[in-house]
Chains A and B, each alone.
Chain A
Amino acid sequence: MKKLVISVVLVNLLVACASEKPKETATAPVSTASKPVVAAAPQSAPSPAPAPFTQDDPLKTPEKFPLLAKRSVYYPLDSSVVQDADKPVVEAHARYLSERSNRKVRLEGNCDERGSNEYNLALGQRRADGVMKMLELGGARASQIESVSYGEEKPKSSGHDEAAWAQNRRTDLIYAR
């Protein structure tokens, strides 16, 4: 059942990607800060819906909800595609957000240092935005999500080796308290 839901979401994701065309943008005043430009994404997977999360906040009982307990997804070098192993994690967070419209999450994209700072800032944003799209396709509302990038500026692990780099290529999901 879960597999089915995920594959439907994936199809939607592909459709969304294919329809993402660069848009000519009109001149806008500086101060217009956050007006989410979300492609009219097809709404999340049709029923049968999985059982709702329990009354208590599942984020607070990580032993019962191991997928929600994971708050980072990791990437190969120069990639911003959520890996198969991490898809159930993002899916679980999407479901959680869709069922709790008062919760908000901040996505922080990060990179290893093998790029320029600015290129990594762009790559980290692409990583965070990729997770944001998956969350939205999974039923979360755009207003619940903020996506930002730190590029290579906030490495979790310092050091110039693959072990450190692997730790640093990630998107963190941070819930507002």
Chain B
Amino acid sequence: MVMHMLRSVIGLLLLAQASTAGAVLSIEIIGAGEHRVPVAVVPFGGDAMLAQTINEVVAGDLQRSGLFRLVDTAGKSPHELSEVSYPDWHSRGAEALAIGTVTVLPNNRIEARFRLLDVVKQTELAGQAVSANNDQARAIGHRIADLIYEKLTGDKGVFSTRIAYVNRQGQKYRLIVADSDGYNEHVVLERSEPIMSPAWSPDGSHLAYASFETGHAVVYIQSLYTNQRMAVADFRGSNSAPAWSPDGKQLAVVLTRDGSSQIYLIRPDGSGARRITFNGSINTEPNFSPDGKFLLFTSDRGGSPQIYRMPVEGGQEQRITFGAGNNFSPRHSPDGKSFVFAHFGNGRFYIATQDFQTGQMSLLTEGGWEKKPSFAPNGKIILFASEGRGRGILATVSGDGRVKQHMYTQSGDAREPVWGPNL
């Protein structure tokens, strides 16, 4: 039989100064998807240590998505197609089965060869060899989980993507980049003054953020490859709320240099600042539509903080959230059909979405101290800041509100999370 396998090589961001902060301690999953696919992930063969790590990552990713039910493998561990007894797995209730082996290559790399099998149809859904440096076993696991997720749900997986957030511990503020499950943390910046509003460049190579290290909020852009950074907006007053245009050629930022908080467009090298809002009220938290033509933003021009929309090149500014309560922090969904935001009502913050077409608002959470939502690149999961056990934590909710996750970091408060792009 001819081995038909795709190959993929993982090229991860090589973060300069790869210092590791406290890892995620525990992840709580609340709720489950309406239809969960029963899938068995058999312990991989080959190098036992690596296999265990990869298996744990794959199983963890699938479970946390809320879309899969892990079937007990009952000690069975086929590694090759020829060893698989389909009726056996069928009787166990599995609809899909993942098998594989891990090998250490001579050049300090590791390779996992895996197959995803359809137990019902008794066919192979996917087969791939995934390789990476020998310290990136988790990355291999995420990649395999992505492939399984995509084959079984039809949507692109986001387990291999990264998130950024700020960890506050006493007077210490750390800008952190981590895997989507919170592991593999890297400290991008550490300061004794606040850091706010990290924003990923569309290609995932840079973070823009606001740092107070010089005594007021200044917008910086920092390379995740070289750690080099530059001040992009450092005018009098506050410089903040950076948002990248989808083509990465400009940023929307909020400056108070002319009085009140206004939105400006500026190039990533800091040149060409151009004001685009002219309302005397607060205008902040700009976010580009996926086609780059519109901005969502927060303004209190109507008497309370609400979401507004305007063409990037200027024109009619339209209020798009109404009703009781205040609304903040809008972000477009990747398909541009809806947006997510933080809704404040009855003394609580909720994560909510609203459809552009219908204007219908849906609350996705039960409320609490929930802020700063952002979509995963596939639009299926929303990351936000929440609270648990008296600390700021990271949390996610599925787009339909059914599956929630609370991610507890080891120490300090997690704030200002934002989901990064596909790489």
Residues of A at the B interface (CB closer than 8 Å) are 20-25, 27-37, 78, 106, 113-119, 121-126, 129, 147-151, 153-154, 160
Contacts and interface: CB of A to CB of B under 8 A. Distances in A.
A118 B329 contact: yes
Given A114-B344, A119-B282, A150-B194, A33 B238 contact: no
A125 B278 contact: no
B237 interface: yes
B272 interface: yes
Chief secondary structure at chain A's binding surface: loop
B258 A33 contact: no
B417 to A, nearest CB: 12
Interface stretch (B89-97, B209-217, B394-402): B209-217
A125 B282 CA distance: 10
Interface residues of B, number: 54
Contacts of B329: 116, 118
Given A118-B328, A149-B256, A153-B212, 6 more contacts: A22-B258, A22-B259, A22-B260, A30-B233, A36-B236, A117-B197
6 contacts: A29-B270, A115-B326, A116-B371, A121-B196, A121-B238, A124-B238
B416 interface: yes
B241 interface: yes
B257 A37 contact: yes
B280 A22 contact: yes
A27 B272 CA distance: 5
Contacts, number: 133
A122 B284 contact: yes
Given A24-B275, A115-B305, A122-B254, A30 B231 contact: yes
B312 to A, nearest CB: 16
Given A116-B372, A150-B194, A28 B305 contact: no
Nearest to A21: B280
B400 to A, nearest CB: 24
Contacts of B266: 30
B262 interface: yes
B234 A121 contact: no
